[in-house]
Structure 1
Amino acid sequence: MTSYDNIIRNAEVLTPDGLQAVDLAIAKGQIAALLPRGEGEAVETIDASGQHLLPGAVDIHFHIRAPAYPDRGTVESETRAAAAGGITTLFEMPISKPCCNTAERVEIRRAHFAEHAFINFGLYAAPGDLGETSVAAMAAAGIVAFKIFTTPAPEGRDDEFFGLSFPNEADQMRALKAAATTKLPIVVHAESAQLLALAEAEIAGSDLSNIDAHLASRPAMCEAVAVAKLLVMNIEAQAKLHIAHVTSALTVDVLRRFAGTSDFSAETCPHYLFRTHDDVRKAGVFAKINPPVRLQSDQDALWQAIADGIITHVTTDHAAFSHAEKLAGASNMVNAPPGSPGSEVLVPSMLDAVAKGRISLKLAMALLSGNAAKRFNLPGKGRIEVDADADLMLVDMAGRTRIGPDTLLTFARDVAQLYYGADFSGRITRTIVAGQTVYDGAVRGRPGWGQYVSPDNLHPAQSTRLRA
């Protein structure tokens, strides 16, 4: 009889064919077999009676910024929290100090993450000078995608945004075309710089300590216009375009109108799906996020876009700041640090949506995992099948997840006020990365266990699964 490293027994296993009553065997970090109940032998057996075994979440929008700003969290602190949140792979955005905008800086960040990460990680890069040689070199370094902003660099942060911020449309077009040559996705934070400037001018003289000023300074039109322009440009550029953190009904309408015109996809985040501006008012500066959390009508449109397949990814946009930084910005909501931690909210919030009948479990896992693996060419991730990577989570659908400063592991637990008091149906009981338990109510993994992931079909030499 074949002996395996691990067998997970008695769970309801979500496979591409739906839920199955099978046992799952793991060998050498991969799924080795789906077995009839009770069959097989293993070094370790996990009894998962009453639980669901799901693919680990692949979070394609995450900010740690390491090795810069350790006061906001570290690779160790934030990947520990991600493990507790059922995330087995995260994609780190290129904002650091300095910006990740060359192949050399990709390698520096890769080395840093490889030493400290508890879970798998991929890296974004900014397209930098848009030169053919430098863009190709970053692709060859194994990045998962490029990232740009259509907004200017925040004041005083030019080194973090050099080669990342392109408010000029000609440069945006060049970035799309540069990314297209690599066949890697290009992810865009899309807001119109000109319309943002107009909106800020219109609120000049108002009380900027009021959180309403932030919503007024970034109206939905800014996002929708930028997205529409990108989609028009992409008809010619033919990039693999991905629109980050969609927030509004207006943008959803734009995405619908451009369906089929080029290769594009879109994401949204739990704070847009489960919170409205009324919740932001209660949390104040701690809920200041760019683009802002909007109205109930926008939230309703986002859920409909998910149901219709217009939005195909749900991500954290995890962005940790220190409590002191957030408080220091409270007098000016327009300039205050934008972002909220979401690593331990993503999966529980979507399990809650399943429990409430809003979406199916199959769709929830496509949004959290499977679609990301397909879009970013990681065929070993996001699915429970033989030969797939054993990146998994066990969840108790009858359990509860309560969010508060005493329940979170993220370094930014003190700035998660937008979610304080949330009580979600569903609880993550175990997270498994490459066949090893990294969380089972407490973090069990070790720094450096996480693997560097890159598009398998583009850069096979970079996808070799070597331990750091």
Structure 2
Amino acid sequence: MSSYDLIIRGGTAVEPGGERAADLAVADGKIAAVEPDIADTASEEVDARGLHVLPGVIDAHVHFNEPGRTEWEGLETGSSALAAGGMTSFVEMPLNAYPPTNDAEAFEEKVALARASAVTDFAFYGGLMPGSLGNMEELAERGVAGFKAFMSTSGTLDFQTADDVTLYEGMQKAAALGLPVLVHAESKQITDELSARRVSTLRTTMRDYLDSRPVVAELEAIQRAILFAGETGCALHVVHVSTGRGVALVAEARERGVDVTCETCAHYLVLTEEDAEALGAVTKCAPPLRPQEEVESLWVQISAGNVEFVTSDHSPCPPHMKAGDDMFRAWGGISGCQSLMNVMLDEGHHGRGVSLQKISGLLSGGVASRLGFPEKGALEAGLDADLALVDLDGISTLHKEDLLYRHKMSPYVGRAFTGEVVRTLVRGNTVYREGRVVSDAIGELVKPERRTARAVSGE
């Protein structure tokens, strides 16, 4: 009999094909076996009776702001919060840090900082903005997971909106490099003009902010991005889609043969514009929260299989940037990565009957597949032993002191969740257990398998 590094015994494994009672063995950071009653021995054993074992979540949309704006969050606090939420990897957006991740030097600095402080694995997107197209090849060579472009004003002066020519030519280059382009799809012309009208007449309430970013701004930008992707052959991913109609545009284009997918975020699945008006700036985001009927429409699209994955779009800031009554001045970002899995288990599984298999796909498998992380995303022999042990019936209320963010703000504070993360393991190493982060920085860079490489290998 062989001896493993770790065996997790007696849990319910959530695999691509469904759920089953099984032990899970780990050797050299990889899943070695998922079988009932593994007879072999291990250096360490974990009793998972009464728990579900899921693939660790890959949060494919976070802003940790390091370097340059580390006082907003930081890789140590951000990755610790992820670990507490059952997450084992993240992909960070190129903006909000300074300098943005727009060239090889900035990318290498990010990697060094993450290796020094992240308790989870990590990947990074590169920027696609005016003046940065010449850097795309060097970023691809170093391992970016894709290129992010803003079709609206970004909120930071150092990350500019991609005009149509930049976006079109950037998609051409990304297609040749075998990497996706991710777009924040809101019309700059519509949102800037509607915002300016309100600010100029001192209409700055949350209601005014919500009205300044209508659904049509999202739909127009999605359609334009899809057109460019279809013409260039680029793999397109639309981030944080806030409406079922936006998801439907993506699904229809995919049916026509365009290589396009989309994500939505946890907050669009549980919070509404009524919550925004009640809670204020802590809920401000872009696109904004929508009416309840849009929440329902997103769940319909999830059920139909038209949403590739769900993310947090964790975008924190210091408290003073959320203070005051002027919603156009307040920072536009929600702090929520620690609660991503909680939301999906509570609202999705318990509230709406979404299977754990599907939730696992939305939080792990879909990300790994779309971004080309072949060693992540599922409980299968040979893949990284990234695991979340969950008490599916555990009930907890989120308090401010539970948050591991640098600044303890979140619209989920005070919310009761059914479904509690008990333990998180990154490549077989326990990083979170019993309410505490219990690991030093062990994160490693995750590089994508680029589409050109997959084509050569015949996949």
Q: TM-score, normalised by structure 1?
A: 0.92
Query: Given residue 333 of structure 2, which amino acid in structure 1 is its aligned partner?
Result: G
Give the superposition deviation at 1:56. Answer: 0.2
The answer on 1:251 being equivalent to 2:246 is: yes
What letter corresponds to residue 429 of structure 2 in structure 1?
Answer: Q
What residue number does 1:427 align with? Answer: 420
Residue pairs, 1:183-202, within 5 angstroms: 183-202=178-197
Q: 1:54 to 1:245 in 2, by over 3 A?
A: same
Which residue, out of 216, 220, 236, partners 1:221?
216
Q: CA–CA distance in 1 between the matches of 2:31 and 2:307?
A: 29
Partner of 1:36: 36
Q: Is the 8 A contact 1:199 1:218 kept in 2?
A: yes
Query: Which residue in the other structure is 2:366 paired with?
Result: 371
Q: Which amino acid aligns with 1:92?
A: E
SS at match of 2:287: coil
Change (3 A) 1:444 1:158: closer
> In the alignment, is the contact (CA less than 8 A) between 2:199 and 2:328 conserved in 1?
no
Q: In structure 2, which of residues 299, 303, 313 is the aligned counterpart of residue 303 of structure 1? A: 299
User: Does the residue aligned with 2:390 lie in a helix, a strand or coil?
Assistant: strand
What's the offset of the Cα at 1:252? 3.0
Identify the match of residue 316 of structure 1 among 306, 312, 315.
312
2-side partners of 1:459 and 1:99: how far apart? Answer: 26
Asked if structure 2 preserves the Cα contact closer than 8 Å seen for 1:73 and 1:412, the reply is yes
Task: Judge conservation of contact 2:33–2:381 (CA < 8 Å) in 1.
Answer: yes
Q: CA deviation at 1:99?
A: 1.2
Count of residue pairs the alignment pairs up: 450
Distance 1:366 1:146 in 2: 23
CA contact (8 A) 1:348 1:401 kept: no
1:137 matched to 2:138: yes
Equivalent in the alignment of 1:158:
157
8 Å CA contact 1:318–1:343 kept in 2: the answer is yes
Which deviates more from structure 2 when the two are superposed, residues 245-254 or residues 390-399? 245-254
Task: Say if 2:92 is the partner of 1:92.
Answer: yes
- Cα shift at 1:185: 1.2
Residues 445 and 140 of structure 1, relative CA distance in 2, 3 Å threshold: farther
Residue 282 of structure 1 is matched in structure 2 by 278
Judge which range, 134-143 or 449-458, deviates more. Answer: 449-458
The alignment partner of 2:402 has SS state of coil
Cα deviation, residue 64, structure 1: 0.3
- Cα deviation, 1:423-460, whole Å, max 9, x if unaligned, reads 11100000000101000123344343011101145699
Structure 1 position 392 matched with structure 2 position 383:
no
Q: Deviations for 1:160-209, whole angstroms, at most 9, x for unmatched residues?
A: x15xx21x212211121121111111111011111112322443455544
CA distance in 2, matches of 1:84, 1:179: 34
Q: Does the CA-based 8 Å contact 1:249-1:297 persist in structure 2?
A: no
2:296 is paired with a residue whose SS is helix
Contact map agreement 2:103 2:132 (CA 8 A) in 1 = no
Aligned-partner Cα distance in 1 for 2:450–2:242: 32
Show CA shifts across 1:243-266 (max 9, x none).
000012432342343232310000
Distance 1:205 1:62 in 2: 32
Q: Determine the C-alpha separation between the residues in 2 that align with 1:216 and 1:57.
A: 34
- Deviation, structure 1 residue 400: 1.4
SS at structure 1 position matched to 2:98: coil
| Cα displacement (A) at 1:24 | 0.6
- Over 4 Å off, 4+ runs: 128-133, 204-207, 457-460
Cα deviations across residues 196-229 of structure 1 (Å, max 9, x unaligned)?
1232244345554421111011111111100011
Q: CA deviation at 1:342?
A: 1.1
1:101 corresponds to 2:102: yes
In 1, Cα distance between equivalents of 2:421 and 2:201: 44
Choose from 351, 354, 377 the match for 1:356.
Answer: 351
Q: Indicate the residue corresponding to 2:127 in structure 1.
A: 126
Task: Pick from 260, 266, 272 the counterpart of residue 262 of structure 2.
Answer: 266
User: Contact (CA 8 Å) 2:171, 2:181: kept in 1 or not?
Assistant: yes
1:334 to 324, 328, 339: 328
Deviation, 1:131, is 6.7
Residue 233 of structure 2 is matched in structure 1 by 238
Inter-CA distance 21–220: structure 2 relative to 1 (3 Å threshold): same
What is aligned with 2:432? 439
Whether 2:400 is the aligned partner of 1:405: answer yes
Q: Distance in 2 between matches of 1:208 and 1:133?
A: 41
Q: Distance in 2 between matches of 1:188 and 1:124?
A: 12
Distance verdict in 2 for CA 1:5–1:256, change over 3 Å: closer
| Structural mapping, 1:449-460, within 5 Å | 449-456=442-449
| Alignment pair present for 1:344 and 2:343 | no
Cα distance change of structure 1 residues 448 and 386 upon mapping to structure 2, 3 Å threshold: same
Query: How many angstroms apart in 1 are the aligned matches of 2:424 and 2:38?
Result: 22
Tell me by how many angstroms 1:360 deviates. 1.0
In the alignment, residue 192 of structure 2 is paired with which amino acid?
Answer: A
Whether the aligned pair in 2 keeps the contact of 1:191 and 1:227 (CA below 8 Å) is yes
Matched to 2:13, the amino acid is: V
- What is the distance in 2 between the residues matched to 1:318 and 1:220? 22
CA 131–219 in structure 1, closer or farther in 2 if over 3 Å, else same: closer
Which residue identity does 2:187 align to in structure 1? S
Kindly indicate whether the alpha-carbon contact (under 8 Å) linking 2:128 and 2:167 is maintained by their aligned counterparts in 1.
Answer: no
State the secondary structure of the residue aligned to 1:363. Answer: helix
TM-score, normalised to structure 2's length? 0.94
In structure 2, the residue corresponding to 1:106 is in which secondary structure?
A: helix
Q: Is the 8 A contact 2:268 2:289 kept in 1?
A: yes
For the structure 1 residues 457 and 135, does the alpha-carbon distance in structure 2 shift closer, same or farther, using more than 3 Å as the test?
A: closer
Q: Distance in 2 between matches of 1:377 and 1:235?
A: 20
Alpha-carbon distance in structure 2 between the residues aligned to 1:297 and 1:228: 22
Distance 1:209 1:441, change over 3 A: farther
Query: What amino acid does structure 2 have at the position aligned with 1:240?
Result: A
1:398 deviates by 0.9
Preserved CA contact (<8 Å) 2:250 2:260? no
- Structure 2 distance, partners of 1:459, 1:106, is 22
CA distance in 1, matches of 2:22, 2:407: 39
Which one of the candidate residues 165, 175, 180 is aligned to 1:180?
175
Offset of residue 304 of structure 1? 0.8
1:55-90 CA distances to partner (integer Å, 9 max, x unpaired)? 000110000010222221221111111100111000
User: What fraction of aligned residue pairs are identical, expressed as a percent?
Assistant: 33
Contact residue 93 and residue 124 of structure 1 kept, 8 A: yes
Please give the root-mean-square deviation of Cα atoms over the aligned residues, in Å: 1.8
Distance (whole Å) between structure 1 residues aligned to residue 310 and residue 295 of structure 2:
13
In structure 1, C-alpha distance between the alignment counterparts of 2:424 and 2:375, rounded to whole Å? 17
